[in-house]
Every structure is written in structure tokens, then in C-alpha cells.
A = this chain, B = another copy of it.
């Protein structure tokens, strides 16, 4: 990216899709990014901003003037504009909003007044609503007229039109394929679909995603939570973003990192991960305390120290297996009160089966290694105990955490491995010391 070749870079940028420009910016080093930003003219390509990772966007926006940012935000569709605005800090947000034309600003302020992660934040305000007494022909004529005369009052893309009463309350929706296939004179009311479950501005975004997935929707209207008026539309591309974000959160949280870790600065990353490692240090010390209870036994029989990580590690892995299945099932709402008991019973049985098998295998290894049937018996018994406890902990802990309205993906793993470490060391060393005495 030599600074001289500005013309070349410009030509290249023009040929790239907005999403690719965003990906390019994300992959550059901080310095190269700083050089590239002025060349992109973001106020003319606002969608690049909406596609950027949050950390990178913060950096890019800090390079733009308030007026430039405001121009970019104002020319985005409302859903993308809200998405960019909600990550700015409060004073930046106020400054940018103040520089946006009044009508657009009011819409954005209203959107920002809906709760975070609600349908109200996700929806765009641009939609096609027509009166309930129109026919198919009138509607198509209206669309053609709007498109030719006032194209900037049309959504950038739309898949359905909405039929409303004089109070702008939603009566039904007509997908465009139904519209183009219907007879010219047919009244809209005869082909529209009345929604049984209408999204409200305060509906949770994950619930929106569940509905889209179940019904294979590509768009859905949103009504105001109190007035019942039609205020926006959520499209599938926004829902795909929600789906991506939800999975991203789950994977990253299960791995003990924040969702935006990759593009964070080094110090911010270290600080965020430190917290998780500190919690883990606490549980590791707890496990060490358990080992410390049996230091006399270990001194007496050092083979125990050699083998003890095996029991704990197998328990930890078995617990993580069960935990993963339960966290997933909870996220997909596949665990109900009617099947939870049956699934827990299955986990216990799986723990018992694999516990038994690994009791034999690990016992055999210990016997061969230390030529001691005593140690073989102890490790076998501890293995069964720990794998059954691991199954129980991996199943029950996420259920309890979900009940406490905390995300099981964040908090479960550390509790489960604490349980399997403590139980693993306690069972193995405790049984040994009890039999030796």
C-alpha cells in the first residue's frame, strides 16, 4: 500500500464490494488502516462502516469528523444506522445525532429508545405499507409511481408489502410472489396473510431468530409494543447477523474469551482473558487444597501423584462433553421440562458405561506400570465415580445457571471442571488413604 499509488488504490476500492472493503480494513495493521481510511470516502460508502467489527469501527470513526460520521450514518438504512450508533459512547452518539437531519434523527432516537437486543433495534423503518381497501393493480401502480418519482422514500430492497388499516395497524402481509401472481383486480385483503404471531418492538432478538428459522421467513413486520401500530420490518439478513452473533458468543464464551477478541488490542485482550484465568486459578487452588489434604498419603506412595491427573482430566473431558450437549440444547430450546429428566438419565448411563470401560483400561495401565493391583483398583473406582459425577455436573449445572438467568455458556464450564477436579482428586487420593490406613 504505497502512498503514491492513490489512483490505483482508489480504482481497486471502487471495484470491491462494501463487505470486502470492510474485511480488508479488518485485516490491515493499525498503521496501514490509518492510511487507507481517508481514501475510502466512507460518507459515500456508509455500508462499509456497518460491516466492520466493533473494535475496528471505533478506530475508524475516531479518524472521521463528526460531520463525516453523521453523513455516513444518515445515509444508512435505519437498522444499520442504529447498529453503528449503539456502539458509540454516549457523548459521541449525541454529537453525531445532533448533526443528522431532524426527521432521520427522530427515527434513530426512537429506535435507540427500544431495549438493547430487541426487535425494535433490529428493524428498519423503511417499508411499504398500503391501505386495506386497495387492489393488486392499484398497489403495483403505486409502487411504480413511487419508484419513478420518489425513489429515496422506498426501501433499498423489500420482499413483502404490508396491509394496514387507517390507524396504521397491521392487518396482514403480502409477499411479492403472491402479489405478482395474483389477478390485477384482486383485492389485497383476499391474498394477504394475517400473521398469527406478530413481532413487537420489545420482542427479544433471539426469539426473532427462532421464529424466522421455524417459519422460513425472509421478512417480518414489527408493531409498536404499546400502540400496536406498524413501525418497522426485520429482514432475514439482519436475522443472519443475530444468528452469527449468538453462535459467536456461545463458542467464544465456552472457550473463555470475549466475542470480539480477535480485533481487540493486545492490552485489552490480556485484561479480558485475565479475569477468566483468575477464576480458573481459584478453582485450581481449590483442587490443590484437596491434594494437600492427602500429602502424607502421596509421600507414602508417590505413584498416586503420578496417576492423579489422569482421573481429573478424564472427568473434566467427560463433563465438558455433557456440558456442551446441554448448553447447545438450552440455546436451541430443545430441552423442556418434559424431556430434561430423560436426557439426564441418559447422560448418567453414558457416564456409567464409559466410567466402567475406562476403569478397566486405566486400571490395566496402572497395574502394568506400577505392578500394583491396589493402585489399579483405586484408579478404577475413582474413574467410575468421577465420570458419573461429571455427567451429573455437566447436566445439572447449566440447567441451574439457565434458571438463574445467566448465560450457561459463560459460567458453566468453570463450575463443571471444578467439580470434576475436586471429585477426581478426592475420590482417587481419598480412597487410597482410606485403604492404606
Contact = CB atoms under 8 A, between A and B. Distances in A.
Contact of A302 (B255, B299, B314): B299
A165 B356 CA distance: 66
Nearest to A151: B181
Given A248-B328, A321-B276, A216 B243 contact: no
A257 interface: yes
A270 interface: yes
Contact of A321 (B273, B292, B346, B349): B273
Interface string A102-127: 00000000000000000000000000
Interface string A192-225: 0000000000000000000011111010000000
Contact of A317 (B267, B277, B295, B310): B277
Integer count of this chain's copies in the complex = 2
Nearest to A267: B353
Contacts of A302: 295, 298-299, 305
A295 B306 contact: yes
Contacts of A325: 252, 255, 257, 261-262
Contacts of A216: 237
Interface string A256-299: 11000110001101100110111011011101100110010011
A173 interface: no
Interface stretch (A62-70, A87-95, A153-161): A153-161
A30 to B, nearest CB: 10
Interface in A394-435: 421, 425
* Binding site secondary structure of chain A: helix
Interface stretch (A2-10, A35-43, A332-340): A332-340
Contacts of A274: 354, 357
Contacts of A273: 318, 321, 350, 354
Interface in A330-364: 334, 336, 338-339, 342-343, 346, 349-350, 353-354, 357-358, 361-362
A256 B324 contact: yes
Given A274-B357, A277-B317, A269 B350 contact: yes
A152 interface: no
Interface residues of A, number: 109
Contact of A254 (B181, B244, B251, B261): B251
A240 interface: yes
Residue of A266, A287, A362 with highest tally of chain B CB at under 10 A: A266
A17 B214 contact: yes
B280 A144 contact: no
Nearest to A345: B266
Contacts of A321: 255-257, 261, 273, 276-277
A117 B180 CA distance: 34
A176 to B, nearest CB: 4
A312 B280 CA distance: 11
Contacts of A213: 240, 244
Given A19-B214, A317-B256, A353-B270, A154 B175 contact: no
18 contacts: A20-B214, A27-B338, A158-B177, A176-B179, A180-B180, A236-B236, A252-B328, A254-B254, A255-B324, A257-B321, A262-B325, A267-B353, A270-B349, A273-B321, A276-B321, A278-B361, A284-B309, A285-B310
The 5 closest A-B pairs by CB, nearest first: A255-B324, A147-B181, A176-B176, A305-B305, A216-B237
